Amino acid sequence: MTKKRKREQPSDNTRLVGIYEDLANENEEVRLEAAHNLLSRFSPESSPTGEEVFKILKRLIRGLCSGRKAARLGFSVALTELLIQLLGPTKRNVPNLDLSISKLIGLLKEQTRIEGSVSGQEERDHHFGRLFGLEALIKSGILFKSGKSTDWDIVLDLIFELAKKKPWLREECGWIIYGAIQNLHEQGLDPSYVQAIIDRINSHGLAKTSEGIAIWIAVQSYFPAVDLPAGIWKHEDPLSIKEKSNLAKVLKEASFADKDKGNAEGNIPQKGSWNFKIHFAWPVVLAALLKDQGKSGQVHTNPPKRLDLKDFWNEAVDNSLFAASSSEVRKYWGLLLFEQMFGGIPEHLISILFSKNLMRCLMNHLTLPDRYLHRVALKVLKAIHARVVTEPQAITAAISGLLGPNGHVNFDHVTKTKTVEKLLSQIDAQTLRTVLPLFERLILMPQAGDETGAASRRQILADQLLSLIRSRQIDNISKAPLSEYNACIEQLLAFFVDVAYFSPRLAAEPPVSKASQDVFRSRISSSLTHLVAKVEDPAQFPYYVAMIIHKREKENVDSQPLFDADENVRKTVARAWKTLDKLHLKAGKPQSSRQNLLRAFKLLYSLTILQTYNGDSDAVTILDELRSCYDSLVKHRENDKQGGPEILVEILLSLVSKPSLLFRRLAQQVFGAFAPRVNATGLQSMVAVLETKENISGQEEMFEQEDAGQDDEAMSDVEEIDMAENNSNDTSIHNKDSSNGATDLSNEKEDEENEGSDGDADELAAFDAKLAQALGTRRADEDVAAEDDESSDVDMDDAQMEALDEHLEKVFRERKKVTSKKKERRNAKETVVNFKCRVLELLDVYIKQQHAQALCLDLIMPLLQLIRTTGNKQVSEKATALIREYFRLCKGQSLPVDAGRETLLELLTLVHSEAGKEGSNAHAYACSQASLLLAKVLAAQNKDNLRAVIALYAGTQEMLLFDSKCKVKPSFFSDWLNWCVTSRLQLQS
């Protein structure tokens, strides 16, 4: 039987190999764990020998010369900690270990010496190994233990030799020296160590390099007693204002030579390769300048004549790194500098960073994704957004830089980003108060070359303020204290009012044009359109805008009103102001029984006054009519109405006839408060609109002839209706038997379009015939056999040519008239359809509130007839949705049971008659829903009434069988049977 071989334990050498492998691991935690395991071998319990320690030292130094993974980092940490244990203040005595600092330096030089012919990469690895070994000596602190500077001098000489010999190592050498100065300061060591550094910088000619500048500034900051060599920098300070140009050249790493001195500085070897990292000297210089700048933003007077941050940034960054001749790499450095600086620079200094050349470069490289610096440009935007998220107070400075003179007012459009939009989305109530004055300055002083450019910029800025109102962040602001929210919005609206209706109190350059004032008036309307639906009292902000206008007019000190009207109009407006004041006082009383009505009148008065100031002639007439409504509905008792409801309905209809979303919402808000007071006459006025034909005659019937040809004022909140749009959310047609061949709305529309196409073909044929007659030719599709006998080469004299020109002109003029008439017909139809849709929206408000009233039943037949007769799908869907909503709401205690039985049966008969007419599936569905609604009402009054309903359904079914003109859909009866089944138990109980 064979015995299992005993597993051998790993030897010490095997363990060391594993540790050395882990020291090169790219994971920092693994490297630190390996260093800890290596150092544990030198504990007293391990009893290491001098030979073992020496071997490990040599192995660690050789490991520094390895370019594998992260070997230099791991071996450097292990070597530093090992030197502290062996030669530090609490050094351990290792038997037979003869080790001193000088011997250690000798060992480092020996192990990193290049022997024989080696490749360029091996040479680089050995140079880096020596540098990392010297850094370990410095970090361990053993060079300063004895207080003697001999070993320190040797180490410095080795570092500066590398820096001078190998330019690509100079930055690493400078970084090690810079770190050493900081360590010397933290440990409070003798300044003589620093003096040795300064002496070697001077002797090696490295003072006017990026590394030399960083080291010089560190010495000035940490060891002011050290003697700095004279004659290198003005006032012995590289940050002297007189060294601005030289400083920029050095940091740019351009070829530099001091013409006044024949020293070695002009012979410094330049770096042979680009580094895609910012040189460490840049943050050092900027930190020193920021320290001098102080919190107040004023440059300190000590030391005298020193650069401030703005001068340095413009010279060294904007005019140097971002010069037109600069390489992409230098511009890359500049963008990285901006990214780093923006994250930590004080808020009051942020504007310095948005310099002219930098912003031009940033915008150029953001425009297209294939630009060389596109990705780093995006990182800059991310840095801006990250700062703003954590510190909203920085939004104002950031937006000022992006939209200001060095940026572009339409930054998002130019760069194809949403930077400004995202910044504004982070705004809070407090920050909004500081952002608005910025926009005000940009609007008043747009920095444009001419009036056209200024108008364009002002419109862009107005749109950005409007987008701010519409943004979700404003909704978040509304969660703050109400007064704070109101103050922000009111501040914005007040500025809009100043520009739109007055000569601004602050001088504008160039002056605000009439076109720009119209733009701001439009943005006021758009703002109010959004705000009306966001607050409990819809009249709150419209009233504020109206009162701002009234207040500015009264003051009339700094601003000149632009409202110019005759005496009668001014009297009407003056009476409206008084009425509005009364309404505001009455509506503000708590627990007022008529508060909703008062708020509605307040809203209506505010917006109508605003329209009067916009130059709308109809608004003055509406103000007179509103006065009659106010006297009837507010000042008098409920039973003393004097035609007020009818007048108010007519006013609302005139408002919704305008293509303005603001008026649409205004009408819905007012009508919602006024719905309980609508009478049969007012309702009939709305029904009359639905019965209007969708053509020119219908338009002329609804509107006065003199208004038919007027163009509506272009406003940003105009709502356009797409005639071909299919809004599937409005209604879902209940159709159980769609295969019956009935014509639906899409077929009607198709037929209509086909008719239009046929008409176009006829008109085109007539035009071709007239044109051929004028030219004396034949159409291509006619018989041209006779042409062989005719001469085609007959010349025409001048008189004949003139006669022909006149004839052709007449033919084309007639053709133009035909085209114009077609456009007129199309526009007329769109106008009528638009008006009907707005009226249907008002009726939706009415049905939702008054569905339990018998008066609401009067809408059933007009809606059914509208669904059948309209040629527009959207109108049909909206009307069908109203019938469906009416049916859904009428249940339980919400049925119009006060209607008379005979009236209901008569109405039901009309519905069945309507159902028998040919129509779409939507029409059949609506008729079925209306019939079932009336059946529910009759059953609620007395279930015996259903016998009459059953008889009526039977009669309709009989007509379907025997009358060929009856077009009732099968779904009409199936819906009735389903309703009977579901209602049976309730009726029997």
DSSP class of residue 782 equals S
- For residues 644 and 649, give the distance between their C-alpha atoms in angstroms, rounded to a whole number: 9
Q: Structure tokens of 119?
A: 């490749």
DSSP class of residue 918 equals -
- The answer to whether 834 and 664 are in contact (CB under 8 A) is no
CA dihedral 469, 456, 500, 543 (to 10 degrees): -20
Q: State residue 115's pLDDT score.
A: 82
CA geometry: angle at 952 spanning 950 and 954, to 5°? 70
Residue whose entry in the numeric block shows the structure tokens 């339409």:
410
The helix or strand, by DSSP H or E, that contains position 708, with its residue range, turns out to be: helix 705-708
CA atoms within 13 A on the CB side of 589: 10
- The answer to whether 901 and 940 are in contact (CB under 8 A) is no
| Angle, in degrees to the nearest 10, between helices 860-869 and 680-690 | 10
State the pairing for strand pair 560-561/502-503: antiparallel
Q: State residue 785's pLDDT score.
A: 43
For 551-567, the DSSP string reads HHHHH-SS-EE-----H
Q: Which of 62, 57, 40 has its CA nearest to residue 98?
A: 57
Decide: residue 122, CB within 10 A, 0-12 exposed, 13-18 middle, 19+ buried: middle
Cβ atoms within 10 Å of 379's Cβ, excluding its own? 15
- In three state form, how does the secondary structure of 744-774 look? CHHHHHHHHHHHHHHHHHHHHHHHHHHHHHH
Residue whose entry in the numeric block shows the structure tokens 């300061």:
185
- For residues 650 and 155, give the distance between their C-alpha atoms in angstroms, rounded to a whole number: 97
3-state SS, residue 3? coil
3-state SS, residue 503? strand
Tell me the sheet residues that pair with 503. Answer: 560
Tell me the sheet residues that pair with 306. Answer: 240
Helix segments in 533-660, DSSP class H:
540-555, 567-587, 595-613, 617-630, 644-656
Q: How far is CA 376 from the centre of its chain?
A: 21
Q: State residue 557's pLDDT score.
A: 53
Q: How far is CA 624 from the centre of its chain?
A: 43
3-state SS, residue 502? strand
Tell me the sheet residues that pair with 472. Answer: none
- For residues 242 and 219, give the distance between their C-alpha atoms in angstroms, rounded to a whole number: 20
3-state SS, residue 856? helix
- The answer to whether 241 and 303 are in contact (CB under 8 A) is no
- For residues 709 and 328, give the distance between their C-alpha atoms in angstroms, rounded to a whole number: 60
| Angle, in degrees to the nearest 10, between helices 120-140 and 50-64 | 130
Q: State residue 709's pLDDT score.
A: 39
- The answer to whether 854 and 715 are in contact (CB under 8 A) is no
Q: Structure tokens of 368?
A: 């297209």
Please report, in angstroms and rounded to a whole number, the separation of the first and last CA atoms in the chain.
Answer: 96
- For residues 626 and 509, give the distance between their C-alpha atoms in angstroms, rounded to a whole number: 41
- For residues 782 and 769, give the distance between their C-alpha atoms in angstroms, rounded to a whole number: 11
Mean pLDDT of successive 10-residue stretches along the chain, which has 989 residues: 50 80 92 91 76 90 89 93 87 81 92 86 92 94 82 94 92 96 92 94 93 96 92 91 93 58 48 73 95 60 75 95 92 96 94 96 95 95 94 93 93 94 85 89 87 92 89 56 74 91 78 92 93 85 93 71 77 91 84 79 93 88 88 64 77 87 89 90 92 86 52 40 36 38 38 45 57 53 46 54 67 64 82 92 94 94 96 94 95 88 95 94 96 94 92 95 92 95 80
Backbone angles phi, psi at 503, to 5 degrees: -75, 120
CA dihedral 109, 115, 121, 126 (to 10 degrees): -10
Q: Structure tokens of 602?
A: 């307040």
- The answer to whether 183 and 138 are in contact (CB under 8 A) is yes
- The answer to whether 662 and 529 are in contact (CB under 8 A) is yes
- For residues 93 and 578, give the distance between their C-alpha atoms in angstroms, rounded to a whole number: 101
Specify the amino acid at residue 457.
R
Q: Which of 115, 20, 9, 95 has its CA nearest to residue 60?
A: 20
Specify the amino acid at residue 840.
L
Residue whose entry in the numeric block shows the structure tokens 């650069």:
307
The helix or strand, by DSSP H or E, that contains position 367, with its residue range, turns out to be: helix 356-367
Q: Which of 641, 633, 682, 640 has its CA nearest to residue 850?
A: 682
- The answer to whether 273 and 280 are in contact (CB under 8 A) is no
Decide: residue 225, CB within 10 A, 0-12 exposed, 13-18 middle, 19+ buried: exposed
Helix segments in 321-450, DSSP class H:
328-344, 350-353, 356-367, 374-390, 395-403, 411-415, 419-425, 429-444
- For residues 238 and 307, give the distance between their C-alpha atoms in angstroms, rounded to a whole number: 9
Q: State residue 507's pLDDT score.
A: 77
Q: Is the peptide bond before 346 cis (omega within 30 degrees of 0)?
A: no
